[in-house]
Amino acid sequence: MDAPWFASARRTAGLVAAALLFGCAAGPSYVRPPIEAPPTYKEGPWRPAQPQSIDSEHPWWSLYADGTLDRLIAQATQANQNIAQAEAQVRQARAIADAARAGFFPTVGATAGAEHALTNSNGSHLGNTVSVGLQAGWEPDLWGGVRRAVEAGNAGSQASADDLAAARLSVQSTLAQDYFQLRTTDRQIALYERTVAAYRKALALAQAQYNAGVTLRSDVALAQTQLEAANAQRIDLQVQRNQLEHAIAVLLGKAPAAFALSALDAPVATLPLIPTGLPSELLERRPDIASAERRAAKANANIGVARAAYYPALTLSASVGSTATSLATLFSTPARVWSLGAALAGTLFDGGLRRARDAQAVAAYDITVAQYRQTVLAGFQEVEDNLAALRVLGQESAVQERAVQAAGLAERLALSQYRAGSASYLAVINAQTLSLTNQRALEQLRGRQLVASVALIAATGGGWSAAGRERDAAALARTP
C-alpha cells in the first residue's frame, strides 16, 4: 500500500538531486576591487626606533602609560551608546543572514479542522467533517538565488561587525584626544596659577618702588593690569576644561552632572613610537576599509539574487493527513490521504521589471566599489596627514623649547634691571608677556602632539585586523 509513496519520493529526490548537482549560482563571482597602494608612506616612517606592538594583547592606549586613561576607555567601551547601537546592528545583520539561510530548507505546516455543514449533492445532507494534516513545500535553489542571498547576508553581517570595531575605535580615540586636551588645559591653568603668583610679587615690587619714590604710579597700574589680565585668562580656560569634561562624560554613557575628573598638573604623557606598517597593510588594519569592502561583496551577491529571477522556479510539495466524519474514524486507513506534487513556474513578461532590478543591483555594486576605493584613499590621507603633523610638530616643539628658555632669561634680567633702576617697568611687562606666551605655546604644542599621535593610531586601525573579525564575532556572541 505504501509502495507508490516511496516510489514517487525516490523519483522526486532523484530529480531534485540532479537539479542541484547541475545548478549554478546566478550573477558574477566576487573579486575584491583592485587598489593601487603606494609602496611606502610619503611622510614616514621618520623615526628609526622600534615601536611597540599594538594588538588585542597590547591595547594601543597602554602606550601612554596613563592609568586614568586606561580606566576611562574601559568604561567607555562598556557603556558608550554608539557602541551599544553598533552591537545591536550586528545582531540585526546576523538575523538577516539567518533569514536568508532559511531559504535552503523546506517549510512544514500542520492543519486541524472541524466542520458542520449542509451539502446538496445527491440530496440534502447535514453532517460533520474532521481533518488533520501535514504539508511541506520546498523550492530547490536551482539558480543560486538563495546562495547569493546568503552570501549577501554573510557579507552584510561581517560589514556590521567591522562597523562595530570602527565605532569602538572612534569612541576610544575621541576619548583619548579629549582626555589629553583636558590634561593640556590643566597644565595651562597651572601655568597661569604660577604666573599669577609671580605677577603678585611683581606688583608688590612695583608698589615698593613707588612708595620709595623710585618709580611712577603708572608702573603700579601696569603691574596691576598684568596681574588681572593673567587671572582672567586663567579663569577663561575653565570653559574649555568644563566642555571637555562634559564630552568625556557623554562618551562614558553618563550625564555630565554625574561625572567629574580631578585637575591634574602632571608631566606631559610620553609620546609613543607608533607602528604604521606599510600602505598595503592598511587594507586589513582599518575596520572602516574592511566594512566598505564587505559591502561591495554584499552588493555583488545581490546582483546574483536579481539575476536568479530570470529563471523559472521549481516548487515541490507534499501532504499527508486524514479526513473523516467523526473523531473515531479519523485515523483509520480509509480516512488517510496523501499527495506529492511539483510545479515549474516562470515569468514570461514583466514590463522590464527584472531588467530594471538587475541594472539597479549593478549600479549599487558600482557605488560600493567607489565608496570602498574612496575610503582607502581617505585612510592613506589620514595616515600621511598625521605622520606629517607629528614630524612638523616635533621640530616646532624643539624650537619652542629654546624660545621658552630665552624668554625666561629675558624676564629674569628685566626684573633684575628694574630692581636696580636701570630699566622701566614696561620692559618688565614685555618680558613677562613674552615668557608667558611662549610657555603656553609649548604646552599647546605638546597637547597637539599627543592628539596627533592618537589620530595616527586610529588612522592605522588601532591594532584591529580583518583576520580577527571572527574572534570578535565570537566574543560578541557570548555577550548576554
Nearest to 199 by CA among 411, 403, 404, 419: 411
The rounded mean pLDDT for the chain is 86
Look up residue 151 and give its amino acid.
E
Residue 415 lies in a domain: yes
Whether residue 16 is predicted with pLDDT greater than 60 in this model: the reply is no
Confidence of residue 333 (pLDDT cuts 50, 70, 90): low
pLDDT at 228: 95
Name the residue with cell 532523484.
Answer: 14
> What band does 269 get if pLDDT is binned at 50, 70 and 90?
confident
What is the spatial distance between Cα 154 and Cα 210, in angstroms, rounded to a whole number? 82
Query: What does the pLDDT read at residue 469?
Result: 65
Domain that holds residue 235: 31-105+142-311+352-478
Average pLDDT over residues 380-401: 95
Q: What is the pLDDT of residue 9?
A: 46
pLDDT of residue 273: 83
Q: Quote the pLDDT of residue 3.
A: 45
SS3 of the chain: the string is CCHHHHHHHHHHHHHHHHHHHHCCCCCCCCCCCCCCCCCCCCCCCCCCCCCCCCCCCCCHHHHHCCHHHHHHHHHHHHHCHHHHHHHHHHHHHHHHHHHHHHHHCCEEEEEEEEEEEEECCCCCEEEEEEEEEEEEEECCCCCCHHHHHHHHHHHHHHHHHHHHHHHHHHHHHHHHHHHHHHHHHHHHHHHHHHHHHHHHHHHHHHHHHHHCCCCCHHHHHHHHHHHHHHHHHHHHHHHHHHHHHHHHHHHCCCCHHHCCCCCCCCCCCCCCCCCCCCHHHHHHHCHHHHHHHHHHHHHHHHHHHHHHCCCCEEEEEEEEEEEECCHHHCCCHHHEEEEEEEEEECCCCCCCHHHHHHHHHHHHHHHHHHHHHHHHHHHHHHHHHHHHHHHHHHHHHHHHHHHHHHHHHHHHHHHHHHHCCCCCHHHHHHHHHHHHHHHHHHHHHHHHHHHHHHHHHHHCCCCCCHHHHHHHHHHHHHCC
pLDDT at 151: 93
Looking at residue 474, what is its pLDDT? Answer: 59
Answer whether residue 340 is part of any domain: no
Tell me the mean pLDDT in the region 188-194.
Answer: 95
The contacts of residue 239 (CB under 8 Å, 6+ apart) are none
pLDDT value of position 394 = 93
- Strands 336-345 and 313-324 turn out to be antiparallel
* Mean pLDDT calculated for residue range 134-151: 89
Residue 338 lies in a domain: no
pLDDT at 429 over 60: yes
Per DSSP, what are the bridge partners of residue 127?
117
pLDDT tier at 471 (50, 70, 90 boundaries)? low
Give the model's pLDDT for residue 158.
Answer: 92
Going by pLDDT thresholds of 50, 70 and 90, the confidence category of residue 465 is confident
Question: Residue 356 domain-assigned?
Answer: yes
Listed ranges 3-12, 199-208, 367-376, 466-475; the one with the highest mean pLDDT: 367-376
Residue 13 lies in a domain: no
Contact 150, 205 (CB under 8 A): no
pLDDT at 194 over 90: yes
pLDDT band at 345 (very low <50, low <70, confident <90, very high): confident
pLDDT at 421: 84
Q: What is the pTM of this model?
A: 0.85
Which band of pLDDT confidence, cut at 50, 70 and 90, is reported for residue 295? very high
Taking residues 414-422, report their average pLDDT.
89
Residue 69, domain member (yes or no): yes
pLDDT of 203 = 92
Rounded to whole angstroms, how far apart are CA atoms 140 and 19?
A: 8
CATH number of the domain where residue 298 is located = 1.20.1600.10
Higher pLDDT, 309 or 23: 309
Mean of the pLDDT values across residues 400-422?
Answer: 93
Mean pLDDT, residues 377-395 taken together? 94
Contact criterion met (CB below 8 Å) for 64 and 272: yes
What is the count of structural domains for the chain? 1
Q: How far apart are CA 420 and CA 193, in angstroms?
A: 27
Is residue 243 one of the residues assigned to a domain? yes
d(CA 385, CA 41): 10
Stretch 270-281: mean pLDDT, rounded? 84
d(CA 464, CA 329): 67
Residue 306: the pLDDT is 93
pLDDT band, very low/low/confident/very high, at 259 (cuts 50, 70, 90): very high
Q: Please report how the helices 145-211 and 81-101 are oriented relative to each other, as an axis angle in degrees rounded to 10.
A: 170
So what's the pLDDT on residue 448? 96
- Tell me whether residue 217 is in a domain: yes
From CA 342, how far away is CA 454, in angstroms rounded?
A: 63
Cell (9 digits) for 161: 561587525
Is residue 57 pLDDT above 80, yes or no? no
56 vs 436: which has the higher pLDDT = 436
Average confidence (pLDDT) over 263-270 = 80
Task: Quickly state the pLDDT bin for 2 (edges 50, 70, 90).
Answer: very low
pLDDT of residue 265: 77
* Overall average pLDDT of the 115-125 stretch: 66
- Among the ranges given (46-50, 180-184, 332-336), the one the predictor scored with the smallest mean pLDDT: 46-50
Cell of 360: 539597479
Percentage above 70 pLDDT, the chain: 85
- Say how many residues make up the chain: 480
